[in-house]
Amino acid sequence: MTRTSLSRHSIQTRQVSTLAALGVSHTIHFAARWFLLCGAAMNHVIESKALRENYFVSFYERRQNMVRMVYASDATSIVNLRMNIYAFETLCEILETRGGLCSTKNIEVDEQVAMFLHILAHNQKIRVIGNSFQRSNETISRYFKLVLNAVCQLHKDFYKTPIPVPDNELDERWKWFKGCLGALDGTYVKIRVPASDQKSYRSRKGDICTNVFGVCTRDLQFTYVLAGWEGSAADSRVLRDAISRPNGLKIPNGTYYLCDAGYANAEGFLTPYYGQRYHLNDWNRPPTTPKELYNKRHASARNVIERCFGLIKNKWAILRDVCYHRPHSMARIIIACCLMHNFIRTTMNHDPADDEVLDDHIEPQDNHDNVINTVETLSGWNDVRDNLANDMFNEWNARRSHLAH
C-alpha cells in the first residue's frame, strides 16, 4: 500500500471515529434533554395538582367563612350585613340580573355583595376586611367599587316614589298636611380630605365633613339624596343645585315638603313659625296659640327626615365615623347607604334599627340656620300656613271643650 493510500485510510478512520463519538454524544444529549423535559412535565403536573388542591381548599374555606358570616342565621346576617338572609339573597339576585354583577371563577356574587355591605356596616379598613374574607386588598377594593357602581346604577329601582297625603288621611300626624310629599333637610357626614381642601369642608362646628341633602317620605324612605357638597356650603346653594338639576328634586304643583325654619316658607316648602316653640322636646306644656299648635304638629310630622338620618347613621358606621374613602367616592357611598336603607325597609318585615332610634330623634349637629334664596317667600303661601294653623287650633279647642263637658 502506498504512502498516499495509507494517509487516506487513516483520515477516513479518524472521520469514522469522530462521527461515532459525535453520535454517542448526541444520543446522550438527547437522552438528557428528554429526562429533563419529563422531569419538568412531572413537576408541572405535581404543581398543577397542588394548585388545584389549594384552590379547592381555599374555595371551600371561603364558602365556609360565608356560611359563618351570613348564612348561619338571620341574627348573624343582620349583625354583619344589616339585613337578614332572605333580603341578602334578594339583593344579590337584583344586582346580578339588573345591576350587571357576575360571578367569576374566583369569587361569587354573594361574596362580592357581602364584602360591600360589611364595609358599609362596620367602616373597617380594606386590609381588615381582606383578613376577614381571606382576600387580597386589591380584590376587596376592586369588588367594592363594582358593587357600588351596580347599586348606584339601580337608584331608580331603590328610591321611593313619593305619594301626597290624601284628603281622607286618618293618621293624626299627617291628616292636616294634605298634599304633603314628605320632609327634607340636610345633615353632615365626616370625611377625610387633603389639608389644602379642609377649609372648604369645615362646617360651622369646625368638623371636616360633607353636606348631605335628603328628602324622605312619611314611611321613612328616601326619595332623593344629594351628596358631595362641602361642609361649608350654605343650604341655599345645596337646595339650588338639587332643584336645578335635570334629574334633581321635582315638586309637582299642588304638593310640598315639610322643612325647618332655616328654609323659606314658599310654594313647595312649608316651614314652621320662626321664634315659636318647635322641637318635640320643647313641649313640656300644652300649646297656647295657633302658631304653637301648628309648630308642634309640624315638628311631629317633619321629624321623619331627622329619624331617617338617625337610622342610616345607626345602621351604617361608615356614615357616623370618619371614613377611609376619598371625597368623590364618599358621595356615592352615602347615596348607596340611603338606597340600601330603602331596600331593607321594603324587603324585611321589621328593621331592627327602628328599635334603636327613637321616634323623636333629632340630629344634634344639624342647626341649619341659613335662609334659602332659590325661592321667594310669598304672602299667599304664608296665608296658607296661617289658615292651617287657625284650623288646627279651632279644632283642638273644640275637642278639648267637648272632652271637658
Q: Is residue 36 part of a domain?
A: no
Q: Is residue 60 part of a domain?
A: no
- Are 267 and 259 spatial neighbours (Cβ–Cβ below 8 Å)? no
What is the pLDDT, as a whole number, of residue 53? Answer: 44
Please check whether residues 188 and 328 belong to one and the same domain: yes
Q: Is residue 8 part of a domain?
A: no
Q: Is residue 9 part of a domain?
A: no
What is the pLDDT, as a whole number, of residue 50? Answer: 47
The three cell numbers locating residue 130:
381582606
Helix pair angle (290-315, 327-347), 10° resolution: 100
Please check whether residues 121 and 243 belong to one and the same domain: no
Please check whether residues 179 and 212 belong to one and the same domain: yes
Q: What is the torsion angle, in degrees rounded to the nearest 10, for the CA atoms of residue 236, residue 239, residue 244 and residue 247?
A: 170
**Which structural domain, as residue segments, surrounds residue 93?**
69-153
Please check whether residues 114 and 246 belong to one and the same domain: no
Helix, strand, or coil (residue 34): helix
What is the pLDDT, as a whole number, of residue 162? Answer: 95
Q: Is residue 250 part of a domain?
A: yes
Please check whether residues 99 and 200 belong to one and the same domain: no
153, 182, 210 — which closes off a domain?
Answer: 153
Cα separation, 364 vs 361, whole angstroms: 9
153, 181, 211 — which closes off a domain?
Answer: 153
Query: How many Å separate Cα 167 from the centre of its chain?
Result: 35
What is the pLDDT, as a whole number, of residue 43? Answer: 57
Please check whether residues 276 and 334 belong to one and the same domain: yes
Report residues of the chain scoring pLDDT below 50: 1, 3-4, 6, 11, 15-16, 19-22, 45-47, 49-57, 365-375
What is the pLDDT, as a whole number, of residue 22? Answer: 45
Q: Is residue 181 part of a domain?
A: yes
Please check whether residues 147 and 185 belong to one and the same domain: no
Please check whether residues 127 and 187 belong to one and the same domain: no
Q: Establish how many alpha carbons lie within 13 A of residue 342's alpha carbon, considering only the half-sphere containing its beta carbon.
A: 26
Q: Residue 202 forms beta bridges with which residues?
A: 208
Please check whether residues 393 and 298 belong to one and the same domain: yes
117, 135, 153 — which closes off a domain?
Answer: 153
Q: Over the stretch 14-67, which tens digit does the pLDDT of each residue have?
A: 544 554 444 555 565 555 566 566 656 555 544 454 444 444 447 778 888 888
Please check whether residues 130 and 220 belong to one and the same domain: no
What is the pLDDT, as a whole number, of residue 371? Answer: 34
Number of domains in the chain: 2
Please check whether residues 106 and 198 belong to one and the same domain: no
Q: Over the stretch 68-96, which tens digit does the pLDDT of each residue have?
A: 989 999 999 999 999 999 999 999 999 99
Sign of CA dihedral 350, 353, 358, 362: negative
Q: Is residue 293 part of a domain?
A: yes
Q: Is residue 337 part of a domain?
A: yes
Query: Which is it for strands 180-190 and 256-258: parallel, antiparallel or unpaired?
Result: parallel
Please check whether residues 369 and 354 belong to one and the same domain: yes
What is the pLDDT, as a whole number, of residue 251? Answer: 93
Query: Which is it for strands 209-216 and 180-190: parallel, antiparallel or unpaired?
Result: antiparallel
